[in-house]
Each structure stands twice: as C-alpha cells, then as structure tokens.
Chains A and B, each alone.
Chain A
Amino acid sequence: MSLLQEVAVGEPDPIRTPRVSGSTLRVVVSKVVRAIITLAFVVVFNFFLFRMLPGDPIGLYTRGRNQDAEQIAQLRRDLNKPLWEQFITYISNPFDPGIDSTRFSRPVWELIGERIWPTILLLGTAIVLASIIGIWLGIRAGWKPGGRFDKVSTGTTLTLYSMPEFWLGMMLLIVFGVGAFGIPGFFPVGGISTPGVDTSSPAGWLNVLWHLVLPCTTLLLIYLADYALVMRASLIDERKQEYLMLARAKGLRDAMVRKKHAVPNALLPTITLIFLSLGFVVTGAITVETVYSWPGLGLLTYEALRGPDIPLLQAVFLVFSIAVVGANLIAELLYIVIDPRVRQ
C-alpha cells in the first residue's frame, strides 16, 4: 500500500539506509534476527487475537449430529485447558501437524502443503512477466518524462493501479471465459485443470497453462502497473542525480556514461522494491484465486472464512507473513550487498 506513497514522494527509506563497513556479517545477522522477532510477534498475535473470538470451536460439530449432552461435554473438557497452557503449546510449535482444520477435518499444514504449489505457480509466473514488462515500460516512460509515451503509459498504469484486482478478474472471466459482447468464451471459467486430464504429462501441462492464462493475466496487469510506476520514478530520480553530477563540468563522453549508469542504478531499487511488494502481491492472489477457483493458498483463505476455521486462518496468516518477511529480508540483504551508494 505504501508503495504509491513511495512512488509519489520518491523518498528512500531512512530506516533501511545501509551502512558502509566491514562488519557486513554483523549487519546481516542483525537483520535476520529482526526478521525472526517479527515472525515471533505474528505467532503471539495469532494466538491472542483469536482468543478474543466468542464462540465454542466445537459448537459447529455438534449441531445436527447424533450425540448426547454428556459426550459433548466430555469433548469440550478435553479441549478447554487453562489459557497459559494452551499458549505454551501453541508457541512451542505453531507447525504442529496435529493442528486440525475445523472445516476440512485434516491437519492444517497438510492442507497448506497441498495448496502452496498452485499459488507459487500463479504468482511466480505473474511476477516474472510483470517485472519484465513493467520495468521495460517504466524505463521507456521515465526516459522522456512528459513525452507522449510517458503520458499514455502513466495514465494506463495509474488506472490499472486503481482497479480492484478481483473486479478485473471477474470482467475478464465474463468476456473471455463465459463470452460477452460478441466475444466467444474460449478460456475455462475456473480451476487449475480440466477434470480427467493427467497433469504430469506434457498435454497436462498445456491444460494447466490454458487454465493459467486468465488469472495470470489479471494479476500481471495489476502488478506491472505497480512496477512500471516505481521504475519510472526511480529512473527519473536517478537521472536527476546524474544530471547534477554532470553539471559539475563533464563532457559529452559522459552522456554515454549516463546511459550506462542511470538505468542499472535505477534498476536496483526497483528489483528490491519488487521483493518488498510481495505483501501487495499476496493481497492480489487471495481475491483473484477466489474469482477463478484456483486451488491455491488464496482460495484456502477464502474457504477458511466460512465458519470461520480458526486454526486454518492462523496457519495461513503465518505462512503469508513468513513469505513476506522473508522477501523483505532478501531485499534488505540485496541492498547491503549491492549498494549503488558505495562508490570508490
């Protein structure tokens, strides 16, 4: 979310300014420790927040079931241990395979293990494609700010960035999946593969790819808008600095140096920002997977909302946090290792 503000203000993050020193290892360790602490807080937060929920977790088991009061009472006694005892149990192993989803009656981590691959496939493809296209767009737009390409591109990307991704998904689905306005619906309306298709065969891959087109396009359009805007702003920033340096009496030779420096220098913050924007990416995945019935973590989250399935929600929240914190960590480490401010 804050990316738009980043784009508009173009200010580097004062908190994350890397240090120039030989104690790189110490810096790396400290950042890793910070990441772990962040995740620890997620676990604690998870536990206490859901205790606030009113409701008897096994209540839903017993409605419409053939059981008498005594049996239900016993079940409940088994589940209600003192709060601190439950806390310790949870904290010591949030990945306990014994934690069952109330909706699916299976271990939550097993469910997550199954559903994580489709999400990685969908997001991975979208991110890679969006990065390439978005960066290219950003470079061309940022090279001649105010020019015609820039105006059209920025207008388009701003509009795309203002769109709810699930709405774009629904519209694409109506037009290209179901068929509207005279366009026949060629793409499937959901799922990851046509039933009965062996997805480990090359024909199966093609089938999966065919199902991948619409959801991936939806996400791709939203992501590339973000990346293009960031790349553009980054490049403009970079060029200003170059220009100022050059103003201090350099010659034509340096116009060529500019090209060799400006783009790569602007590329780095963009790449790190792509990592940093994983939080934004995850948000899009949840709603788009829902619209397309793509059996990934996002759809799992939506399904967990019915009930709600507390253990599953906790686990999914943890997984998303780990992914995002991890990506942030990688971005920060990248910044330390390759810092354009380190000039000899």
Chain B
Amino acid sequence: MTTIAGQRRRLALSRFWTQFRHDRAGMTGLIILGIFILTAILAPILISPDALDVTQAEGDRFDPPSLAYPLGTDESGRSILLLLAWGTRISLTVGLAATIISMVIGTAVGIMAGHFRGVGSHALVGVTDWFLVIPFLPLAIVLATVLGPSTLNLIIVIGITSWAGTARLIRAQTMSIEGRPYIERSRALGAGNWHQMTRHVLPNVFPLVLANTTLTVAIVILSETTLSFLGLGDPLAPSWGAILDRAFSTGAVSQGAWWYVLPPGICVVLVVLAFTLVGRAMERIVDPRGSTA
C-alpha cells in the first residue's frame, strides 16, 4: 500500500513541478525568493558581525550612497546595505516561524471544526470567527504590549493572530471532502476520528494547505514589518521593519535620507510579492475549481 501511495505521490509531485515551471509569474516569484534565501544563508559567512557593531562604525552619519557605502549609512554610520543583508535573516526567519505556528493551529482547528459535529465544533467555529472579525493590528498591538518586545514574542503574536483565515478555509475544504463516498465507506468500515482526519482528510487538504501557507508567509512578513515599525519587536535586531522604525524615529524623513527608507521597503515588497506570486501559481495548479485566471 505504502509503496504505491508513495509512487503516486512522487508522480503527482513531478507533474506539479512541470506545471509550475511553465507558470511565468510563479517562476519569477521563485527566483526572487531564491535570491533572498541565499542572502540570508550566506550573510554570516560573507559579512563580518562588525558591520552591526556601532562602536566600530566608521562612516559618517546619514551619508548618501557612495562607492564605499552603496546604500549609504544610518544614524550610527553603519552601512545600510550590510544591515539589510543581515535583516533578511531575521525577517525571513520570523516569517517562516510565525507561519508554521499559524498553519499548524489553523489546519488543526480547521480539520477538527470541519470533521466533528456538536458543541466542540461550534466552539471552534466561534473562536475562529472571533479572530477573523477582530481587527488584526489593534489585537496584535495589545498582545505584543503585554508580552514585551522580543523576537520570540513577535513570532508568537503573529502566529496567534493569523491562523483564523486558514482555519476557515480548511474547514470548508474538510466538509466538502468528508461528503465524498469513500470517506463514508471508511467510516462504515469502522475508521476512527483520528484515522479519518489524518489519513483521509489531511492528505487531501494538504495541497491547498501548502498553497495557503505560501500566501500566509506573505501576510506574516507584512505583519512583522508593521509591528517592528511600531516598536513592538526587538529593537536591536535589524529586521526590515526595525530598520524603517529607526529611520522614522531618527529623522530620516526630514533629512531627506531616502536611501535609508527606500531599500528596506523594496526588500519587503519584493519578498511579499514573490511569495504571493508563488502562492497564486500553486493555487492555480492545485485548486480543482481553477476559479482565478
């Protein structure tokens, strides 16, 4: 059984890849992502940690771009290009970690809410609805204020506030899958709840989960940027949002220091766009209804 299922999965995967390869938007996104991930991995190898050390900074403050400092310097004289490179690690790590939390909670809640009937399911749906309706940023602000400014807390806060959309989607998908005949048959054969959820529902929702995950990362990175900008993240970690926060509070705007403001934002836009393109491409392939052009 396993070998055949395994073979089928490998075939599905290769078919998926062939389709994906021909999706121009998706491939563009993937390439952009690749560049950023590479930067994140190579940063500690190529850049010395002195680039972040304020006591070693040699440049003038708020210097416009030059040969020595291709993206100019910040308020302590550090090279903004190197700060950005380091920031890639933080932004991507937080993005990934928070997404994992969000997806795990969302998928679990979604499958359970869709599978079970009765009070438990209603409670789950109620909680999901609550998190869906309450506006994200005020809720995140309140949570982050209570927990305190740190990278870990930021991951937790974003994870907690982002899972509801996924849960609702997965629940709908679960309910539609469970209407299928073979599930009924397996239930008649005595398959328990856990078996049904993990063996039948999960593998079927999985492609959708994957596509949704990719889109969620995009949203999570935007959220992290926003929360860091408001000063709710670790102020010493140069994530892109934190760099923008520094730029704002040290007066980059009135100095006209566009080199401090433009590049971090462009990085965010590119990464978010990349994840969005990849996610949409995945959905085009995976979603049986193919509703978007």
Contact = CB atoms under 8 A, between A and B. Distances in A.
Interface of A: 1-2, 4-5, 7-11, 13-15, 38, 41-42, 46, 49-50, 52-53, 145-146, 150, 158-159, 161-164, 166-168, 170-171, 173-175, 177-181, 189, 233, 236-237, 240, 278-280, 282-283, 286-287, 290-291, 301-302, 305, 308, 313-314, 316-317, 320-321, 324-325, 328
B262 interface: yes
Contact of A287 (B125, B229, B283): B229
Contact of B230 (A9, A174, A287): A287
A283 B289 CA distance: 32
A233 B142 CA distance: 34
Contacts, number: 186
Nearest to A178: B256
Given A8-B280, A9-B292, A49-B142, 19 more contacts: A5-B212, A8-B211, A38-B130, A53-B145, A162-B273, A164-B269, A167-B225, A174-B261, A179-B256, A180-B258, A236-B291, A286-B138, A287-B229, A305-B232, A313-B145, A314-B142, A320-B138, A321-B138, A324-B134
Contact of A283 (B129, B137, B146, B254): B137
Given A286-B137, A317-B138, A324-B133, A170 B248 contact: yes
B129 A1 contact: no
A139 B45 CA distance: 50
A178 B262 CA distance: 15
B169 A283 contact: no
B215 A5 contact: yes
B177 interface: no
Interface of B: 125, 129-130, 132-139, 141-143, 145-146, 162, 164-166, 168-169, 171-172, 175, 211-212, 215-216, 218-219, 222-223, 225-226, 229-232, 241, 244, 247-248, 252-254, 256, 258, 261-262, 264-265, 268-269, 272-273, 276-277, 279-280, 283, 287, 289, 291-293
B268 A167 contact: yes
B133 to A, nearest CB: 6
Contacts of A53: 145-146
9 contacts: A1-B136, A10-B292, A164-B222, A174-B253, A237-B291, A283-B137, A286-B138, A305-B230, A317-B141
Contact of A14 (B135, B175, B215, B226): B175
A301 B141 contact: yes
A321 B164 CA distance: 16
Contact of B145 (A164, A280, A308): A308
A222 B146 CA distance: 29
Contacts of A308: 145
B253 A8 contact: no
